[in-house]
Amino acid sequence: MSRIEIREDRCKGCLLCTTVCPKEIIKQADRFNQHGYKPAEVPAGDMKKCTGCASCATICPDVAITVYKTKKKAKKGASHG
């Protein structure tokens, strides 16, 4: 499963990541972080839609997002569908 990790203490709530996500799964949280910004988050359950494209991390001015991508399956596994 591809996924992103948002460092909430680094997020300044600029929301640029929400504009570039192709699956539109990044939303603004209702809570405040320690700096008083409302950080970006992925609501529970939506993370499975993440494709690991890293667009959000590329545009994040605070380098607050780490991206993990699912490893491509070996050819043997792919033949089983």
Partner 1 sequence: MYQDEELVFSCPQVVADRPTHYCPGCHHGVAHRLVGELLEEMGLVEKTIMVTAIGCSVFLYNYLLVDAVEAPHGRAPAVATGVKRAKPDKFVFTYQGDGDLASIGMAEIMHCANRGERVSVVFVNNTVYGMTGGQMAPTTLIGQKTTTCPGGRCAEREGMPIKMAEIIASLGGSAYVARTALNNVKNINKTKKCLRKAFEVQTSGLGFGFVEVLSACPTNWKMSAIKANERIANEMIPYFPLGVFKDATADVTGEAAGKGEEGK
Contact set with partner 1 (CB under 8 A): 1-3, 9-10, 12-16, 19-20, 35, 37, 52, 54-55, 57-63, 65-71
Inter-residue contact 34 to 12 (CB < 8 Å): no
Question: Is the sign of the CA dihedral 10, 47, 15, 65 positive or negative?
Answer: positive
**CB closer to partner 1, 44 vs 72:** 72
Which of 60, 54, 64 has the alpha carbon at shortest distance from 22? 54
How many Å apart are CA 75 and CA 52, to the nearest integer?
Answer: 21
Cβ proximity to partner 1: between 43 and 70 the closer is: 70
Rank residues 14 and 29 by Cβ distance to partner 1 and give the closer one.
Answer: 14
Query: Closest separation between CB of residue 3 and partner 1, Å?
Result: 7
